[in-house]
Structure formats: structure tokens, C-alpha cells
Amino acid sequence: MSLGLPDPEAASGDTNGEISAALEVASVSHSYGKRKALDNVSFRVRPASFCVLLGLNGAGKTTLFSLVTRLYAAQRGTLRIFGFDVNHAPGEALRRLGVVFQARTLDLDLTLQQNLSYHAALHGMPARETQRRAEEVLGQIGLLGRANDKARTLSGGQIRRVEIARALLHRPRMLLLDEPTVGLDVKARADILKHVRSLVAGTNIGVLWATHLIDEIEPPDDAILLHEGKILDRGKASEIAARAGVQDIGAAFKKLTGIEGEGTSWDQS
């Protein structure tokens, strides 16, 4: 049940000169009052890989992302980004991280350039570097010509692409995306997914892509199945299906969660 990496409980950091994990989550638990949102969650995301965190709405995906980004402090367990502990070395950890949250976060009354410049200032980037990087990332998503347009003039898919570009502005080595295609049409969803997969291939960035949509997972993908705050299985999507004795990851998720019936949020239809 591994992603082809050392055991999640093992120490993080350099091993023979190589970083063992882009993201390591070890024995993490978190509760809201009496409700346990995460229960002893452990996994690793390999550097330069695309990993899918699959779970229904309310499974704990957003809570996990909030802990990784230090919006909340983990009540139990350890989180490391390229070997740096999120709680003990937050500056070193978080500067290696780019984040796209589920909720839209662009300021709609600012231009694309202004949105990117504000983000760059938060990371202490100098003005000349900000301008160069903004042109580069906007060019990569085909929106360089709209740098001076207000964000509210963009479509939903374009806004999401700008949010991804903004997350990459400071050249992180790990990218978190929380339900990045929610509310988008089929073509926009496919375009966003294709773009992020191309980032992994072209820039060697590590990606953790959280979703409840089965059709965003391909058989060779690393996958983590999260349900009611617990990990049900992890590994290649095809291997998870094989272990469950079914043909695909959707059927495996249905079998492992015990969910029956039509119209569930994970159903591809």
C-alpha cells in the first residue's frame, strides 16, 4: 500500500543526497471539537510526481491542506515539505510550496499583473524579478496579452489558470491544488488538468491534486483514498484497483467506502 517510497513513518530529508519526499504527512490527526476530521493520516508525495488525493466532500482534504499551509496547527503528527518541518521551520517549508485553494482568491477588482505583484511582494520578490516572472507565467497560460485586464473580466477557467500561475510565481517545488476544477465546464476542467500534468513533466514540480472526481485520475497516477478522515489505500491507481479486485479506481473507491447508489459526488456521471 505504498507509493513506492520508504515507510511514511521513516525520517524525512536527504537520503544519499536525494530528497525522499516532496511532502511527508506522518501520523497526522486533527479534530474540531468532538468531530475527528483526520485520523492518523500518513503518506508521502514523491518529488516530480502527480499524486491525486481522492475523497468525497467532507473527507478531510481541505483540513489536510489547511494543516500543510499552516492555516491551522496540527494537533498530532508531523508535516514536512522537502524535509523541512512545517511547524518548526515554516519559512523554509512554505517557500517551497505553491497553493491553489478551492475558493477563488483573486481580487476581481485588480488586474492580473496587480494580483501577481501582490503575491510576489508577500514572498519578498524584487520588482524586476516580479515583472519578468509575471510575464513568463502569464505567457505559459496564454494570458500575457490580458495582464492589464481586471480579473473579473475572465472566465472561470481563466481565473483558475491565473491562480495556478500565481502559485508558481515564486518557483515552488511542490504544488497543492484543492478541488481546482470545481464549478468549471468539461473543457475547462480538461484544460486545467492537462496544464498541471504538463507542469510535472516540464518543470519536475511535485503535485498533490485533491478531488472528488474519479475521471481526473489515470491508472498510472499515484493516488491516496481518503474517507471520513482515514486513508483506505494508497499507491498507483491501477494497483489499488487490482488489490480491491475490480477493474478501475472508481469501482475500488466504491467498494472500499461501501458507498452504493447513483448520484454520489464521486460518480463520473
Q: Cα Rg for the chain, rounded, in angstroms? A: 18
Query: What mean pLDDT value characterizes the chain?
Result: 89
CATH 3.40.50.300 boundaries in the chain:
1-96+172-269
* Secondary structure class of 241 (helix, strand, coil): helix
Other Cβ atoms less than 10 A from the Cβ of 137: the count is 22
Other Cβ atoms less than 10 A from the Cβ of 255: the count is 14
What confidence category does residue 18 fall into, taking pLDDT thresholds of 50, 70 and 90?
low
- Whole-prediction pTM value? 0.88
Cα–Cα nearest to 63, from 34, 96, 102, 26 = 102
What confidence category does residue 263 fall into, taking pLDDT thresholds of 50, 70 and 90?
very low
CA distance 150 to 154: 8
> How many Å from the N-terminal Cα to the C-terminal Cα in the chain?
28
- Name the superfamily (CATH) of residues 1-96+172-269: P-loop containing nucleotide triphosphate hydrolases (3.40.50.300)
| pLDDT at residue number 19 | 61
Residue 189 gets the label, from left (phi > 0), alpha (psi -120 to 50) or beta, of alpha
Q: What is the mean pLDDT of residues 49-54?
A: 97
Tens digits of residue pLDDT in 52-97: 999 999 999 999 999 999 999 889 999 999 999 999 999 999 999 9
| pLDDT at residue number 136 | 94
Contact 166, 160 (CB under 8 A): no
The CA distances from residue 14 to 21, 22, 82, 84, 88, in Å, are 9, 11, 9, 10, 17
